[in-house]
Structure 1
Amino acid sequence: MRRKIIYLFVPVFALLIQWPMGAMAQQVAEGMGDRYIRVAEIGELADSVNVWGDVGSSGRYIVPEGTNIPELLSFSFGYTQLRGNESNIDWSKTQIEVKVSRYNKQRKLVEVAMFRYRYHDPEPVRMFEFDLQNNDIVSVQVRRKPSFTDYVGVVAPVVGVIATSFLLIENLRGNN
């Protein structure tokens, strides 16, 4: 009787263990494919390019061969809003940096091109002429000059801690 129970228990136990593992493997495989974005048509010559930083959708893009940087930025939904608690951003003080890196023959990562310009200025012509290659890394950073509220946000807590410490020390001296 015990043997029959064991013979029935082992296959059921194996199925119970295997099912979650298979489901987990499927979820991992699906999750890994989330950041591969195919823009190129099936059968079209394509390059895989990494887009990182302050863009609407970063990830690894499969783009048509000969894609330039403005096209790639369009595929990745352009520049993102600056992070923070500001609702209205003064874009006139905003600077965009686009850096393209790739591996050389010695398998070392080198910067190939760097484009800096203000948001309201026209994009540099070289960005339109620059053809991306397979496995290029395009990093985008949106910067802005600090405003008065940024400085206040840094200085006010420091002044508050100093004032509180001073009042605490004075209060402790007065109680002795």
Structure 2
Amino acid sequence: MSRKLILIITVFIFTGGYSLKAQTKQLSTSQQFRIAERFIRIAEPGELADSVNVWGDVGSSGRYLIPKGTDLARLISYSFGPRTLSDSQTQIDWSKMRVEINVQEYDNEEGGVAITKFKYRFEDPYPEGMKDFVLKNNHIIAVRVKRKPSFRDYLGVFASTVSAVASTIILLDRLGGK
């Protein structure tokens, strides 16, 4: 009788250990998915939340898990606001910048897409309805920062065109004149 008991305990230990190992492997895989690089959790655990996408010219785009009732202006703040168009050599005048925000909502009843658009300049107040616009689950927010072209932009296009034409003339001259 003791041999049968030892055999049963041994089989139980080995199969139980394998099951526990498989569960641990499955848990680590699901945790990796939950902590994905562009999945940002703002809502506290246990809090009612909506999941929305933020795309475009923001500091941190991705899928956001936000508390229910979050307005659009607060979500833009969570995503670190509109991204600047500057580098180490350029200083951008924010007063000339304008922001376009499109909020897409898929209408399940009719199968269509409803798009709400907001446009504003940085020196102007928020457009009417933007501050109070409450986000819902699966909204897609696309942010685009635009600016008028500067002298440097025009110069870059002009200089590259002149350079290409001059290079072509020199190449044809060298090939034709030996």
**TM-score normalised per structure 1:** 0.76
CA distance in 2, matches of 1:128, 1:174: 69
Per-residue CA distance 1:69-118 (angstroms, 9 max, x = gap): 10101111111111656431111211101110021126856242100111
Q: Which amino acid aligns with 2:164?
A: V
Q: Residues 28 and 109 of structure 1: is their aligned pair in 2 closer, same or farther, counting only changes over 3 Å?
A: farther
Q: Which amino acid aligns with 1:51?
A: V
CA distance in 2, matches of 1:112, 1:140: 13
Q: Which amino acid aligns with 2:97?
A: T
Partner of residue 77 from structure 1, selected from 71, 75, 80:
80
Unaligned runs of 5+ in 1: 1-21
CA distance in 2, matches of 1:87, 1:149: 9
| Deviation of 1:29 (Å) | 2.8
Aligned to 2:20: none
Per-residue CA distance 1:25-73 (angstroms, 9 max, x = gap): 8499358622221111222221111111111111111111111110101
User: Alignment length, in residue pairs?
Assistant: 153
- Please tell me whether residue 144 in structure 1 is matched to residue 147 in structure 2: yes
Greater CA radius of gyration, 1 or 2? 2
* 1:92 partner SS: helix
Partner of residue 91 from structure 1, selected from 76, 91, 94:
94
Aligned to 2:55: 52
CA distance in 2, matches of 1:34, 1:107: 34
CA distance in 1, matches of 2:30, 2:159: 47
CA contact (8 A) 2:56 2:142 kept: yes
CA distance in 1, matches of 2:63, 2:110: 19
CA contact (8 A) 2:86 2:92 kept: no
Aligned to 1:123: 126
Q: Which amino acid aligns with 1:126?
A: G
CA contact (8 A) 2:98 2:121 kept: yes
CA distance in 2, matches of 1:28, 1:169: 63
Per-residue CA distance 1:133-160 (angstroms, 9 max, x = gap): 1000001111111101101111211111
CA contact (8 A) 1:101 1:112 kept: yes
Aligned to 2:38: 35
